Amino acid sequence: MSPASLATFLGFWLLAGTCLAADLGGQLLVANRHLRDPHFAHSVIYVLDHTETGAMGLVVNRAAGRAALREVLRQQGVRSASKRSITLFYGGPVEPGRGFLLHSPDYQCASTQFLGTRFALSTGRDILEAIAAGKGPKQARLVLGYAGWGKGQLDQEVARADWLLTSADPALVFSATPAQVWERALRFAGMRL
């Protein structure tokens, strides 16, 4: 998938840009210990898109609570009798009411966009209906909001070591213990604890 198609798919239009040292799309950003911004301290972010015009990612390690899936679907205009619940994750400070489902690539629906071979992203209510029926992906994060960076901003933050980089491992992204993901990700990124 090209960066342009991902940006169009997400409806996220970035500003015209500059050159990057490297494309960070598909990697994890791990907040360094000195990063104190309350939105990002101790965060692990899956980078969805990183181009010369900006970047977009989803925080994957901050559970925000649980919700009845029927209530989430009701807000999307879908009636469901599902008794399942789902953990909601804080994805970042931008558009906190907007939902994204980052999931394993074993499931596809009309809104699914594959992010390489280990992850997929869906934004439609069809995937929520599938999860309610017990037919969705094996692993998923329902994330509200996202992290966004303007032209060159993420590059500057990486250059000053606000973020450490590591490969996006599904064991980290979909961990059953999200509160422990930051420390595990630091080790993955080579930081001694």
Cα 20 from Cα 160, distance rounded (Å):
15
The confidence band for 27, taking pLDDT boundaries of 50, 70 and 90, is very high
Instruction: Spell out the domain ranges in the chain.
Output: 3-188
The pTM of this model reads 0.85
Q: Does the pLDDT value for residue 92 go beyond 90?
A: yes
User: Hey, how many other C-beta atoms are within 10 angstroms of the C-beta on 34?
Assistant: 9
Interval 116-127: pLDDT, tens: 999 999 998 888
Interval 29-72: pLDDT, tens: 999 999 999 999 999 999 999 999 999 999 999 999 999 988 88
pLDDT at 17: 32
pLDDT at 16: 26
Q: Does the pLDDT value for residue 11 go beyond 70?
A: no
The confidence band for 13, taking pLDDT boundaries of 50, 70 and 90, is very low
H helices then E strands: how many in the chain?
Answer: 6, 10
Cα 141 from Cα 62, distance rounded (Å):
10
The alpha carbon of residue 98 and the mean position of all alpha carbons in its chain are separated, in whole angstroms, by 12
Q: What is the mean pLDDT of residues 66-79?
A: 86
CB 165 within 8 A of CB 28: yes
Q: Does the pLDDT value for residue 8 go beyond 50?
A: no
Interval 137-150: pLDDT, tens: 999 999 999 999 99
Distances (CA, A) of 118 to 2, 53, 102, 185: 17, 25, 11, 17
- DSSP annotation of 178 reads G
Return the structure tokens found at 7.
């940006």
Q: What is the mean pLDDT of residues 144-167?
A: 95
pLDDT at 61: 97
- CATH code that applies to domain 3-188: 3.40.1740.10
The confidence band for 193, taking pLDDT boundaries of 50, 70 and 90, is low
